[in-house]
Structure 1
Amino acid sequence: MAEPKGKRDFRDNPRIDIRERHEVAFWAKRWGVTAEQIAAAHKKVGHNVKDIATELGKRR
């Protein structure tokens, strides 16, 4: 049986869905940045977690 949408484990997903608050909040806390910084990096380099991390100067 499938998990509800908000309960899926997104941490292994190679992409960040910028529309999902819980994903943005997780990565913001993990990297020690703001949601706005993630949104700006997302706009610049796309949705790939590794690319966003590199843009922010962080490790995945």
Structure 2
Amino acid sequence: MAGLKDKRGFIDKDRLDLTERQAVEYWMKRWGVTRDQITAAHRKVGRMTKDIAAELGKKR
């Protein structure tokens, strides 16, 4: 599985699982957004990071 390495293992770079705290924190920092903004975008467009980024007006 391709992904981003963190202390516990790998974070999937294509899909965002809101139950994965490390992944959510990574994308919050990367995109400069809040958890609520990520959650709202995730609910609106689904779990694909490219779609969430587009919804937030950010580059993946």
Q: TM-score range by the shorter chain?
A: 0.7 to 0.9
Q: Which consecutive segments of 4 or more residues in structure 1 shift more than 3 A? A: none
Matching residue of 1:49: 49
Give CA-to-partner distance per residue, 1:3-57, whole Å, 9 cap, x none. Answer: xxx71221x5310011111111110011000011000000000000000000000
Matching residue of 1:16: 16
Structure with the larger helix share: 1
CA RMSD of aligned residues (A): 1.3
Structure with the larger strand share: 2
The higher radius of gyration belongs to 1
Instruction: With the length of structure 1 as denominator, give the TM-score of the two structures.
Output: 0.83
How many residues were matched structurally?
54
Which protein has greater RCO, CA pairs closer than 8 Å, 6+ apart?
1
CA distance in structure 1 between the partners assigned to 2:9 and 2:17 by the alignment: 13
Percent identity of equivalent pairs: 56
Does residue 1:37 correspond to 2:37, yes or no?
Answer: yes
Instruction: With the length of structure 2 as denominator, give the TM-score of the two structures.
Output: 0.83
CA distance in structure 2 between the partners assigned to 1:32 and 1:46 by the alignment: 19
The secondary structure found in structure 2 opposite 1:41 is helix
